[in-house]
Amino acid sequence: MRAELRGSTPGHVSVPDPNPFDTPHGSLSGALKGCLGSLDGAGIEKLLLHCATAVEANDATLVQQVMWVLNNIASSHGDPNQRLTSWFLRALVTRASQFCPTAIPSATTGLTRARPMTATELVGYVDLTPWHRFGFTAANGAILKMVQGRRKVHVLDFSIYYCMQWPTLIDALSGRPEGPPLLRITMPSARPSVPPHLNVSTEEIGLKLANFAKSRDVPLEFHVVKATWSCSSDALNGHSNFLQEFASCLLDPSSLGLREGEALVVNCQSWLRYLPEGSGRATDDLSSRDAFMELIHRLNPCLVTVTDEDADLDSARLTSRIMSCFNYLWIPFDALETFLPKDSPQRLAYEADIGQKIENIIGFEGEERMERLESGARFSQRMTRAGFESFPFDEETVSEVKLLVDEHASAWGLKREEDTLVLTWKGHNSVFTTAWVPSGYDG
């Protein structure tokens, strides 16, 4: 029996039975929970899909039913399956709530209220697993190789990780036989409103970085490109704000402060996924993925590093997205389970951040769905279309990455797919990292 919502039927008011659902011994919930707790991932996935289908079909009753079942599985302190389910359920609730007719606040705001981290906390955060440092290490290795012998290096940093990548590069540059170059790091002021969140400004981070570089005898100039267009306070269009701000940072390439004779490196770390596919008119839409790459190409960098998560989470179909999210994001949950206790605050915080990603991918559509991850294979095709050639990582870099991976749990692995390095967890792709040079680069 499916009660389809067919519109109002006046006169037909079903007053709820005054006896609420009573579980006198807590029995049903316990039994149900027990029973459902033994569902494997495939079963949970089916439930999620059913829920999504019901949401799309406007089948309120079925949605409630499935959510009720899911809720009995979900637990943010349970096993990884349960934890993952709890975040998916939240996302589905968010989605369902989109259809409420009157003023419904977005659920995302609720989730972003975790206390922002300090810089050192962020360091710990990115080092929980090799997930992030994998890309840092590979990209830095490629950069080091490419800028050998160059006296001036300028890095355009497009990353959500607030310069966590750079101390090790600075450290490595300081040890160069030919001495360190003059290093400039430039980043846009615009950043997508996604975790991790820092409690200090980008400028302060830059200052610390500059201090550190000084301590290493590496001259560093840090520059934040301000947007020429400032966003309104309307947080509703948060991501549109970001895109417009970002585009305005790029509108005038001279605001990037490029100089003659410097080796220009563009570093994209978990960034491109936030740029939309674009309307097709690249010139009008600077913030689109292809337009961005085109712009970068025009700047004639000596190297472009692209690191991101290796999954396709941008399907137009909700059910596909649920499947791919579920079959991908179990990885970090599983990884954390292996070495952090159930109640670990770090683990919970990290999982909540992933939960926010899940919520965005499943709960929203259109502009608000800012997470549009595409896999390494597709990104690579895009780079090729944009006129780049892949640049292989040298053996030294690969060994360094391997060393990093080996220092973590044995389930982490390293895989090479042509010129791409992939971090794997139990054999499943998690993060890819690549390096590119413009075709026919004239260094």
Calculated CA dihedral for residues 403, 404, 407, 413, nearest 10 degrees: -90
Task: Among 279, 338, 381, 399, indicate the residue that binds other proteins (CB under 8 A).
Answer: 338
Backbone angles phi, psi at 127, to 5 degrees: -105, 10
Q: What's the min distance (Å) between Cβ of 234 and other proteins? A: 7
Q: Map the footprint of other proteins across residues 54-73, applying CB under 8 A.
A: 55, 58, 60-69, 71-72
Task: Among 231, 349, 398, 437, indicate the residue that binds other proteins (CB under 8 A).
Answer: 349
4 token code pair: 């389809």
Binding segment for other proteins (CB under 8 A), chosen from 45-53, 260-268, 274-282, 359-367, is 45-53
Binding segment for other proteins (CB under 8 A), chosen from 197-205, 271-279, 298-306, 435-443, is 197-205
| Closer residue to other proteins in complex, CB, 280/339 | 339
* Interface characters, 148-167, with other proteins (x: CB under 8 A): ----------------x-xx
Taking the CA of residue 354 as centre, how many other CA atoms within 13 Å lie in the half-sphere pointing to its CB?
26
Coil/strand/helix, residue 114 = coil
Q: Does 102 bind other proteins (CB under 8 A)?
A: yes
- Token pair 């570093």 is found at 267
169 token code pair: 């590069």
| Closer residue to other proteins in complex, CB, 343/442 | 343
Binding segment for other proteins (CB under 8 A), chosen from 27-35, 277-285, 289-297, 434-442, is 27-35
Task: Among 149, 175, 211, 280, indicate the residue that binds other proteins (CB under 8 A).
Answer: 211
Q: What's the min distance (Å) between Cβ of 288 and other proteins? A: 25
Task: Give the span between the Cα atoms of 180 and 357, in whole angstroms.
Answer: 39
Q: Does 364 bind other proteins (CB under 8 A)?
A: no
Backbone angles phi, psi at 240, to 5 degrees: -60, -40
Task: Among 343, 366, 395, 442, indicate the residue that binds other proteins (CB under 8 A).
Answer: 343
Cis-peptide into 196, omega within 30 deg: yes
Residue 7 CA, distance from chain mean position: 39
| Closer residue to other proteins in complex, CB, 275/311 | 311
Q: Does 177 bind other proteins (CB under 8 A)?
A: no
Angle between helices 318-337 and 80-97 (to 10 degrees): 150
| Closer residue to other proteins in complex, CB, 117/250 | 117
Helices (H), 38-181: 41-56, 60-73, 80-97, 107-111, 119-126, 130-146, 166-174
Task: Among 152, 171, 229, 441, indicate the residue that binds other proteins (CB under 8 A).
Answer: 171
* Interface characters, 418-437, with other proteins (x: CB under 8 A): -------xxxxx--------
Task: Among 52, 120, 193, 294, indicate the residue that binds other proteins (CB under 8 A).
Answer: 120
Task: Among 258, 299, 377, 409, indicate the residue that binds other proteins (CB under 8 A).
Answer: 409
Straight-line distance from the first to the last Cα atom of the chain, in angstroms, rounded to the nearest whole number: 68
Task: Among 37, 278, 387, 392, indicate the residue that binds other proteins (CB under 8 A).
Answer: 37
* Interface characters, 271-310, with other proteins (x: CB under 8 A): ----------------------------------------
Task: Among 344, 392, 398, 419, indicate the residue that binds other proteins (CB under 8 A).
Answer: 344
The partner residues of 388 in beta bridges, in order of sequence, read 438
Contacts with other proteins: how many residues (CB under 8 A)?
Answer: 169
Q: Does 260 bind other proteins (CB under 8 A)?
A: no
Q: Does 223 bind other proteins (CB under 8 A)?
A: yes
Q: What's the min distance (Å) between Cβ of 386 and other proteins? A: 26
Q: Does 254 bind other proteins (CB under 8 A)?
A: no
| Closer residue to other proteins in complex, CB, 275/404 | 404
| Contact between residue 126 and residue 133 where contact means Cβ atoms under 8 Å apart | yes
Q: Which residues contact 176 (CB under 8 A, 6 or more apart)?
A: 148
Element (DSSP H or E) covering residue 293? helix 289-298
| Closer residue to other proteins in complex, CB, 11/440 | 11
| Closer residue to other proteins in complex, CB, 350/436 | 350
Three-class SS string for 226-265? CCCCCCCCCHHHHHHHHHHHHHHHHHCHHHHCCCCCCEEE
Task: Give the span between the Cα atoms of 247 and 276, in whole angstroms.
Answer: 12
| Contact between residue 160 and residue 194 where contact means Cβ atoms under 8 Å apart | yes
Which one, of 344, 283, 308, 317, lies nearest residue 430 by Cα? 308
Q: What's the min distance (Å) between Cβ of 375 and other proteins? A: 10
| Closer residue to other proteins in complex, CB, 328/436 | 328
